[in-house]
Amino acid sequence: MYNTLIIVVAGLVSGLSSGLLGIGGGVITVPVLILLLGLEPKIAVGTSLFVIVPTALVGMLVHYRVNNIHFSYGFLFLIAAMLGSFIGANLANVFPGYVLRKLFAVLMFIMAIKMFVGK
């Protein structure tokens, strides 16, 4: 019951932040799966990606309806991100889980500082 409650609350927060801010999938889901539910980082990342696709699709459709998509930037970003995702997923299978966990923490820390001190 405890795990179900954590998953539902984290899913709602993840979806809300995804639709509102364009973040949520990895930023919220991965730490919840690792820290609160005890999954290995590789499993948490794969599960997060499984959740991100339909979540992003719903948010994208709502934003599309109100003309909030810059398609030329979006398509270029999509191609580059797909290539990066392929490379990253293969690299994730090379690194041990504790390395992925530390890399994720460093990335989140850098992003937080950048957002805090940025314009």
Structure token pair of residue 118: 């940025």
pLDDT of residue 71: 95
- How far apart are the C-alpha atoms of 52 and 46, rounded to whole Å? 10
pLDDT of residue 25: 73
Which run of H or of E encompasses 98?
helix 97-117
What is the pLDDT tens value at each position of the chain, 119 positions in all?
Answer: 889 999 999 888 888 888 888 776 788 888 999 999 999 999 999 999 999 889 889 989 999 999 999 999 999 999 999 999 999 999 988 999 899 889 989 988 998 898 889 77
pLDDT of residue 114: 87
How many domains does the structure of the chain reveal?
Answer: 1
Range of the domain at 29: 2-117
